[in-house]
């Protein structure tokens, strides 16, 4: 098996959930996979500024790159269970000695494979402002549908609370209302495009398709660990 490197901690519960999503896929195999994890020491103040107001992003980039440099000599590939950090995927890949798989690229690939044409997006304000999903979705002929401005502010506030470990029933209700609005605007499904959101919300909570980006990345990591990661028609054993 290949060794998987995880650079996480943004926030810690999302990273723990991601880790379990990977290892549970190996329950019926001969053993659990080799995984090396680095948890980014992200200050709460920086998380607040970046997630909600798209400020202080340079520090997050530096912290993730430091994480990659810490583990890349001892793994075969890396994954980052944080959508927002993928704003810096090009810079991250430039310094990494091993492949870094993108949660955004894999999600767009999944949507295209399943012929989704219109998709709602729940993400941080930083992700929305930097067109993290909107640009690649349009490039794949998929129409992104975003919450209204006041709804986006609510989403970012909820995500920040989740990063700090606050799980509130009122926040789940607010997200379900926003998803309803995205559905009314024509969304065929909604991407949980922040890896903290699955801590609060799952498919069991609503009778409308939700796409958990953690699930998609965990599947990619599992296949890469087994040396069976497929990109298009090309088989990669990286």
- Using an 8 Å Cβ cutoff, are 123 and 194 in contact? yes
Q: How many Å apart are CA 41 and CA 7, to the nearest integer?
A: 11
Q: How many Å apart are CA 13 and CA 126, to the nearest integer?
A: 20
Q: How many Å apart are CA 110 and CA 120, to the nearest integer?
A: 14
Question: What positions carry a catalytic annotation?
Answer: 82, 194
Tell me the two tokens of residue 156. Answer: 């970012």
* Pairing between β-strand 229-231 and β-strand 234-236 as defined by DSSP bridges: antiparallel
- The helix (run of H) or strand (run of E) holding residue 214 is helix 213-225
Eight-state DSSP code of residue 192: E
Summary count for the chain: helices (H), strands (E) = 11, 10
CB neighbour list of residue 79: distance below 8 Å, 6 or more residues apart: 4, 5, 6, 7, 100, 101, 103, 217, 220, 221
Tell me the two tokens of residue 104. Answer: 């955004």
Q: How many Å apart are CA 136 and CA 104, to the nearest integer?
A: 8
């Amino acid at each position: 098996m290949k060794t998987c490197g995880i650079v996480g901690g943004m926030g810690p519960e999302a990273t723990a959930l991601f880790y379990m999503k990977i290892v549970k896929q190996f329950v019926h195999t001969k053993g659990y996979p080799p995984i090396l994890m680095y948890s980014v020491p992200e200050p709460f103040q920086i998380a607040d500024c970046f997630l909600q107001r798209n400020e202080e992003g340079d520090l997050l980039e530096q912290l993730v790159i430091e994480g990659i440099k810490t583990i890349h000599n001892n793994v075969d590939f890396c994954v980052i269970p944080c959508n927002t950090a993928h704003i810096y995927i090009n810079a991250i890949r430039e310094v990494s000695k091993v492949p870094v798989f993108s949660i955004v690229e894999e999600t767009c690939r999944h949507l295209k494979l399943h012929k989704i044409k219109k998709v709602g997006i729940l993400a941080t304000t930083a992700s929305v402002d930097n067109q993290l999903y909107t640009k690649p979705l349009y490039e794949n002929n998929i129409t992104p549908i975003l919450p209204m401005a006041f709804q986006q502010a609510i989403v970012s506030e909820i995500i920040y609370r989740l990063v700090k470990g606050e799980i509130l029933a009122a926040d789940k209700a607010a997200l379900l209302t926003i998803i309803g609005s995205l559905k009314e605007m024509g969304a065929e499904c909604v991407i949980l495009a922040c890896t903290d959101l699955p801590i609060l919300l799952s498919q069991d909570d609503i009778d409308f398709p939700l796409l958990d980006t953690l699930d998609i990345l965990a599947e990619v990591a599992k296949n890469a660990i087994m040396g069976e990661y497929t990109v298009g028609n090309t088989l990669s054993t990286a």
